Amino acid sequence: MLKYGYNNLSLRNRILILNVLVLIMSLSVLGYISSSIAGEAIIEKAKKSSKRELQLIDSNLYTVIRGIEDYSKLIASDEKLQELVKGLYQEVHENNGNINKVKVRPEMSRILSNIVSPNTMIIASAVYVDKQLAFSDINIDDYSSPQIISEEFLDAAYEYQKPLWSDLLLLSFSDGTKENVFAVAKLIIEKNYGYKPGIVVLYVNEKDISRIYKESSSNIYDRYYITNSQDMVISSQDKGDLNKKIKDVLAIDSSKFDELTRDGRIITEYDGQMVLISIQNFDKLDWKIISVNYLDEINREVSHIQKLMLIVGIICLVIAFGLSYLTSYTVTKPIQKLTKIMKLIMEGNMNIRAEVEDYSEIGVLTRGFNNLMDRIQDLLNDIVAEQKAKQKFEFKLIQSQIKPHFLYNSLETIISLDKLKRHEEAIQVTKSLANFYRLSLSKGNDIIRISEEIRLINDYLYIQRQRYSNYMDFRLDVDEEILDYFIPKLTLQPLVENAIYHGLKYRNNKGKIEINGYMKDDKITLTVFDDGIGISNEKIQTILNFGPSDKKREDFGLPSVDRRIKLLYGNEYGLKIESEVGSYTKVFVTIPVIKGEGMI
């Protein structure tokens, strides 16, 4: 009953009732919408900001890592250092593993001091020969480097050959202090003979690494961590968090950590406050950069926006309610008039038009309706004209391609072969000629399979090669996946004929024609290539821009094919010509993927 009563209401009353319902519903959901949209928008902004900061840290960290690795490569390739390490390597093998470290210390110290702090972020260095410590900075405790640099790490450096980073290590200095450091090992490869006498090890202070994300942070309260592949903290602003599981530091369980790893970010509680935790992979060293952003300030901003939106919404709804009645009356009157005109048009009176009484939205709608009807009328006229033009072009194309002189010339070729007692070739030319005309007629079908078009052009080219064997050969290479799709009949023959008579015929030696076909981006492309005399750019510009006065041009076949394809499938399809004078010409034919006759 409600539906029946509503359907019998006037448009004016329907608009009024609907406006009232919309106003009531809007008041009910406005609070929820303002809360969710504003909150999500600001949270999304925080997520993007966090992502940008992590990307900046990633970029800066990558620059620092690359710089340190470049220093390791520079030192490992130093000729003087290589000479010293080579001598020590020979001593190891000559003196039962014993080496004289004292004699090389001054020279090694001079070489390595150039890259050690304060010049760089490298705080110390060491050199190993045959896995024995041959040199360490004077600042390092004599026993510290061998204790923290394991034989497995040195083996990995020999195997990896590129700069190899360790996990976090605790390095002791000669003054009794200790620092958390990363060791960077680079294999020394002797330049002349390629053997590997030793390894240079550089130590980088973790404090210098943590300074990177301190400088990149936009909020002093945010927290940043770097973890290794085992999810252990290897860099942090709070040094008490080092060498701890990141899950324990963030106080989240395994499921939350899995969600963070999978989604790249989570919102959770940390230290009694809501935080956004984001993660960024640092793929170069299989590290992860993790940020913790506090959301209290964001929540206050969301609350303020919610209140503002609610106040503005109520004001707007009150005004809209007052205007709803006026709208229902002013809108419906001209619409009713337009409806009467539309009914008359539906009855078949296509020439009638609505009167434009004002310049409001309804006036625009009325003018748009009149313009639409004018365009429909013009399109109907254009369709009739295009159909006539299409039929004319198709008929003209078939007439221009199946020319009597081709038949005469083919028959003369058969007679000549027979006189020369080349009977098998004469028979083959006869079969090819029969196949060509059989496929050309194709039971009156204008759209044929690509496989049939290829057979047709193959027969045509075979006959032409028998006639012009001194200056042409051909090759066909068409992907099998396109053979069962459809193409307008006699698309390729005019292009091949043009290649023979306007390209190859004027060469001084034998040329070739290549036909290729493939599918790309839901379009089929067929190409006809010849290495004839080519076409100038001016000629290319005029070939496809022809009018009714150009019907007697000798290259009419190419624009006919182009126009025919555009009439059938649209202006995005057709021909494109690429050529270089004196070198080659390549014509591209683009058609849609046609699954049936005329069906795309």
Task: Examine residue 364 and state whether it is found in any structural domain, yes or no.
Answer: no
Q: Could you list the residue range(s) of the whole structural domain that residue 198 is in? A: 77-208
Question: Which of 294, 318, 351 is a domain's end point?
Answer: 294
In a domain, 554, yes or no: yes
Rounded Cα–Cα distance for residues 298 and 174 (Å):
49
Task: Kindly report, residue by residue over 13-28, the tens digit of the pLDDT.
Answer: 777 677 777 777 776 6
Q: Does some domain include residue 372?
A: no
Please, what's the b/e burial string for 124-157 (b: 16 or more CB within 10 A of its CB; e: otherwise)? Answer: bbbbbbbebbbbbbebbbeebbeebbeeebbeeb
The 10s digit of each residue's pLDDT in 190-218 is 887 778 889 999 999 999 998 888 776 66
Integer Cα distance of 124 and 113 in angstroms: 9
Q: Residue 72 domain-assigned?
A: no
Q: Return the axis-axis angle of helices 493-502 and 450-467, rounded to nearest 10°.
A: 20
pLDDT 10s digits, 101-151: 778 888 888 888 888 877 788 999 999 998 888 888 888 887 888 889 999
Most distant pair of Cα atoms in the chain: their distance? 113
- Is 196 found in the same domain as 238? no
Same domain for 438 and 497: yes
The domain boundary residue, chosen from 187, 208, 229: 208
The reported pLDDT for the residue numbered 548 is 47
Q: Which residues of 384-413 are buried (b: 16+ CB within 10 A; e: fewer)?
A: eeeeeebeebbebbeebbeeeebeeebeeb
- Does residue 598 sit within a domain? no
Q: By the 8 A CB rule, do 446 and 520 touch?
A: no
Q: Tokens 């929820």 correspond to what residue?
A: 32
Domain annotation covers residue 391: no
Q: Are residues 173 and 306 in the same domain?
A: no
Same structural domain for residues 12 and 60? yes
> Is 273 in the same domain as 421?
no
- Greater confidence (220 vs 586) lies with 586
For residues 239 and 330, membership in a common domain is answered with no
- Residue 555's CATH number: 3.30.565.10
DSSP 359: S
According to the per-residue pLDDT averaged within each range, which of 173-182, 373-382, 431-440 is highest?
173-182
pLDDT at position 400: 54
* Domain membership flag for residue 12: yes
- The DSSP secondary structure of 120-178, one letter per residue, reads SSEEEEEEEETTEEEEE-TTB-TTHHHHHS-HHHHHHHHHH-S-EE---EEEEBTTS-E
288 and 306 part of one domain: no
How far is Cα 582 from Cα 161, in angstroms, rounded to an integer?
54
pTM: 0.49
Band (pLDDT 50/70/90 cuts) for residue 591 is very high
Q: Are residues 52 and 110 in the same domain?
A: no
Residue 322 lies in a domain: yes
Let me know whether 436 and 582 are in one domain: yes
Q: Indicate if 580 and 528 belong to the same structural domain.
A: yes
Domain total in the chain: 4
Is residue 86 located within the same domain as residue 193? yes
CATH number at residue 242: 3.30.450.20
Burial (CB count within 10 angstroms: exposed 0-12, middle 13-18, buried 19+), residue 3: exposed
* Average pLDDT in the chain: 81
Query: Are 137 and 116 contacting, i.e. CB atoms less than 8 angstroms apart?
Result: yes
Whether residues 178 and 96 fall in one domain? yes
Give the end of a domain, one of 272, 294, 316. Answer: 294
